[in-house]
Amino acid sequence: MFLNIEVNNQIIKADKGETILSALNRNGMNVPTLCFLKELNPTGACRMCVVEVEGYENLITACSQPIEGFMKIQTHSKRVLNARKTNLELLLANHPDECLYCIRNGSCELQNLAQSFNINERKFKNKKFTLKVDKSSAAIVKETDKCILCGRCIRICDEVQDVSALCFIKKGSSTTVGTTLNKPLSHSNCILCGQCIMVCPTAGLHEKSHTPQVLEAMGNPKKHTVIFHSSSVSVSIAEEFGFKAGKDVSISLNSTLKKLGFNKVFEVGVASDIYLIELAEDIINRTQNKGPLPLFSSCCPAWIQFAEQYFPGILTSISQIKSPQQIMGALIKSKYADDLNLNNKDIFTISVMPCIAKKQEAIKGNTSISSFSDVDCVLTTRELASLIKIKGFKLDDTETQLSDAPFVNQSSASKLLGTSGGLTESLIRILHHKVTGKDINEIKQSKLRISKGIKEISVMLGETTYNFAVVNGIGNARKLINDIMSGKKTYHFVEVMACKEGCVNGGGQPLLSEKDALKSRIKAIYDSDEKESIKFPYKNPSISEFYQAFTKSGNKNILITNYKERTVLK
Amino acid sequence: MDNLIELILLKYPKNATENIIEILLQIQEAEGFISAQSIIMLSEHVGVQSSKIYSVASFYDQFVFEARAKFIIRVCSGTSCYISGSDTIISFLEKEFNIRIGEITRDHVFQIETKSCLGACAQSPVLEINGVFYSNLTPQRIRQIIHQCKSSLQ
């Protein structure tokens, strides 16, 4: 039911029961927020969104106050502005003046607010800082001093991911955000999805940077540096250079990276094609040999970490095929190294991913070739953008270049892996070919292209009906697995992605992105599927050579990984 | 220890979050502190993630998460005791055990803490060891008390 409210002497329409903030935003009016997260429970912790409501003695937090009847609201009165400014100054009292040396310099919500409130002096003397930095985790760094206790990380970890690795510890002025028993992150039940980084307004949580190692390797003439990037990076990195969201720059990125001085630039798509083909074979094998079914996807490292911690019983149901990143690294350090007569010790592989859990996967990943890791370093989208800037370049969208040989081509199906549902959609294309011998007519699976936490599709292939489930957001995954374990649901294949909407929304993607950036990135991926000529992984000419090599050597060991149970405080 | 916790948990229905604090109190009484293992067991019993249990428990100063000493020496640091020299008492103890306030000796026998007021101002300075009060303290007397504690162990 709509009702009228008065805001700044102007009448606007509001839905009964919605919050003041939601009504304001819908009508194009803005109030500053720090702790607010759309679709999550409002807490009113930061008190930046306070407004003056006639009839109320105190200022009201717009994010948590529902509209029940007519209201007369002032969003920018003198009293409100004063309250917000003092509030901000108090937050800054507990925040170090380290902006120049901070990873979030320029992309910090607290800094932006301080700037917009014209704060140019320290009003309150700062407290003593603890200088506590938790670097124990393979991918996430936690800086206690920079935390403003907004609680966003805690809420997203609990309400969306249902992992609850983080919590408030103690009370009052000694409150901090930490893990159970305040253990280092590496000992906690954190699955490294990085969603906490995406919502952190400051640098309280950020990724562990691999940029120094990459720069080191690039400056070492003995190292043969090979970089490869994923489709979710090429549809988002342009945002870091001021382009509108949804610009696919995969081929321009190739040329920019070449200019930066990498010896070879590839796209991970070739490895994704191999991954998809192997996965399809795994499904068919398991269907014919009676299980164990369902088969779970293995490309999301945060999902693997989650399963190893919470569902050790289903580890045998997760495909043992390495993720595309690890396959790519393994191919480069074996076949590619042999072809170029390079010692794999001298090859330095850099993967560019929209994900921070991939940093952990690279370390933990089973190495295929003696003691060398498949992937030496993992850069996030953000880190690559900063590396390009460090090297004095910008993303030039006019120049284009294909991936270097021998990984020139990739199917457009491989690019779909960046979205939730894309993996399954590509798999259906391959399964159709494997079962019927023909290309599928309807390549688009519109049931899988909608934005939903759990999606299901059944496809008749030959004489068997294959049931697929697609789940994104680890909280949804937990629900689905419980349903599968209790026998309520049965599938042939389950695609799991730890982040909502899939990798396009990964923990390594651009921060503070524009509204609807996610939708634009997804659209860019589907558009390229429409445009490109190779739509089926099995038609990718770049992979046939590798398959010949596999058949010749008779082993696909370099494509296989394994999982083990991980005991943590959960 | 696990059995002890199990016995406590058995008294409470599963998935009933309203009992968390009561159970924590009982665990602390039985174990002397809240261990990681007990947090895990409690979290499974009431169906709440361990981080939330820890969040609640760490809110209250009463709960401790590390094994405590056999003798917890609480020195009164209230105004009256302070004037009568509680700080010299504290530094004497710190020197004696070679630990600081809040810390615990390596053999887990002694631990020093301060309390805001023990309510015995007339006999200041005072301290309390495991519920027993000692008043009108001097370094000599403290040495005696420590000796008593040590010999009671044998």
Q: Report the C-alpha gap between A247 and A232 in whole angstroms.
A: 11
Among candidate residues B59, B79, B106, the one where a domain is terminated: B59
Task: Provide Rg for chain B, Cα atoms.
Answer: 19
> Which tens digits make up the pLDDT trace of A352-405?
999 999 999 998 865 555 567 889 999 999 999 999 999 999 998 888 888 998
Just give the CATH number of A212-559. 3.40.50.1780
Tokens of A310: 């919470």
Q: Which residue has the tokens 């490869």?
A: A228
Contact A569 B53 (CB under 8 A): no
Q: What is the pLDDT of residue A298?
A: 95
CB contacts under 8 A, A 185-244 vs B, are 189
Looking at the fold, whether B93 and B36 belong to one and the same domain comes out as no
Of A163, A168, A570, the CB nearest to B55: A168
SS3 state of residue A367 = coil
Phi, psi of A545, rounded to the nearest 5 degrees: -60, -40
How many domains in chain B?
Answer: 2
Distances (CA, A) of A558 to A230, A236, A326, A368, A549: 20, 30, 9, 5, 12
**Residue B94 within any structural domain of the chain:** yes
Span A114-164, pLDDT tens digits? 999 999 999 998 777 887 899 999 999 999 999 999 999 999 999 999 999
CATH 3.40.50.1780 domain position(s) in chain A: 212-559
Same domain, B42 and B80: no
**Are B129 and B85 contained in the same domain?**
yes
- B75 and B41 in a common domain: no
Torsions phi, psi for B6 (to 5 deg): -55, -45
> Percent helix, strand, coil in chain A (nearest 5)?
40, 15, 45
Task: Using alpha carbons only, give the angle A320, A321, A326 rounded to the nearest 5 degrees.
Answer: 120
Q: Tell me, which fold does domain A2-90 have in CATH?
A: Ubiquitin-like (UB roll) (3.10.20)
B27 within 8 A of B8, measured Cβ to Cβ: yes
Residue among B36, B51, B59 minimizing CB distance to A170: B59
Q: Of A428, A423, A422, A421, which Cα lies nearest the Cα of A465?
A: A428
In a domain, B95, yes or no: yes
Q: What is the dihedral of CA A28, A34, A37, A42, to 10 degrees?
A: -100
Using the predicted structure, report yes or no on whether residue A256 has a pLDDT greater than 90.
Answer: yes
Parallel, antiparallel or unpaired: strands A224-229 and A264-267? parallel
Q: What is the pLDDT of residues A295-305, one digit of tens each?
A: 999 999 999 99
Tell if the CB–CB gap between B54 and A170 is shorter than 8 Å: no
Q: How far apart are CA B132 and CA B129, in angstroms?
A: 5
* Identity of the amino acid at B143: R
CB-based contact B55 A167, cutoff 8 Å = yes
Of the three residues B13, B35, B59, the one that is the final residue of a domain is B59
> Which residues in chain B touch residue A170, judged by CB atoms under 8 angstroms apart?
58-59
CATH number at residue B28: 1.10.10
Residue B24 domain flag: yes
What are the percentages of helix, strand and coil residues in chain B, rounded to 5?
50, 10, 35
Do B55 and B77 share a domain, yes or no? no
Q: Which residues 530-569 of A are in CB contact (within 8 Å) with B?
A: 569
Residues above pLDDT 70, as percent of chain A: 99
- Judged against a pLDDT cut of 70, whether residue A546 lies above it is answered with yes
Residue B64 forms part of a structural domain: no
Return d(Cα A392, Cα A424) in angstroms, integer.
40
**Domain termination residue (choose one: B59, B80, B96):** B59
Q: How many residues does chain A have?
A: 570
> Which residues span the domain enclosing B51?
2-59
CATH of the domain at B98: 3.40.30.10
8 Å CB contact of B53 and A180: yes
Span(s) in chain A for CATH 3.30.70.20: 94-207
Q: Which residues of B33-68 are buried (b: 16+ CB within 10 A; e: fewer)?
A: ebbeebbbbbbebbebbbbbbbbbbbbeeebebeee
Look-up of token digits 């693997």: A304
User: Which residues lie across from A350 on neighbouring strands?
Assistant: A227, A377
Same domain, B146 and B81: yes
In 3D, which of A454, A160, A188, A159 has the Cα closest to residue B51? A188
What digits encode the pLDDT tens for the residues A179-227?
999 999 999 999 999 999 999 999 999 999 999 999 999 999 999 999 9
Asked whether residue B86 falls in the same domain as residue B130, the answer is yes
| Chain B interface, best mutation among A181, A190, A309, by max B CB count within 10 A | A181
CATH 3.40.50.300, domain A94-207, yes or no: no
With the CA atoms of B80, B84, B90 and B93 taken in that order, what torsion angle do they form, in degrees rounded to the nearest 10? -130
* Average pLDDT rounded to a whole number, residues B92-111: 91
Give A158's contacts in chain B (Cβ within 8 Å). 49, 52
- pLDDT interval class at A165 (50, 70, 90): very high
The CA distances from residue A255 to A262, A263, A341, A395, A404, in Å, are 10, 12, 25, 9, 10
Provide the residue type at A43 as one letter. T
**How confident is the model over A432-482, as pLDDT tens digits?**
999 999 999 988 999 999 999 999 999 999 888 999 999 999 999 999 999
Contact residues on chain B for A181, CB-CB shorter than 8 A:
36, 39, 54, 65
Are residue B77 and residue B107 in the same domain, yes or no?
Answer: yes
pLDDT at residue A258 greater than cutoff 80? yes
Per-residue model confidence (pLDDT) at position B127: 93
B145 and B78 assigned to the same domain: yes
- Residues B81 and B117 placed together within one structural domain of the fold: yes
